[in-house]
Amino acid sequence: MVHQDRVKRKNFSWYFLAAVILVYIVVACINFSLFSKSVALFSNLIVKIVPIFIVIYILMTITHYFITPGFITEHFAESGIKKWIFIIIGGILSTGPIYMWYPLLADLRKKGVQYGYIATFLYSRAIKIPLLPVILFYFSIKYVVILTAAMIVMSVMQGITINRILQFKQ
Lowest mean pLDDT among 12-26, 56-70, 92-106, 135-149: 56-70
Give 50's pLDDT tier (boundaries 50, 70, 90).
confident
149 vs 138, higher pLDDT: 149
pLDDT at 49 over 60: yes
User: What pLDDT band is residue 66 in, cutting at 50, 70 and 90?
Assistant: confident
The pLDDT confidence band at residue 134, using thresholds 50, 70 and 90, is: confident
pLDDT above 60 (res 4): no
pLDDT above 70 covers a percentage of the chain that reads 88
User: Which position has the higher pLDDT, 19 or 169?
Assistant: 19
Task: Give the mean pLDDT of the chain.
Answer: 83
Residue 47, pLDDT above cutoff 90: no
Give the model's pLDDT for residue 128. Answer: 85
Q: What whole-number distance in Å separates Cα of residue 12 and Cα of residue 18?
A: 10
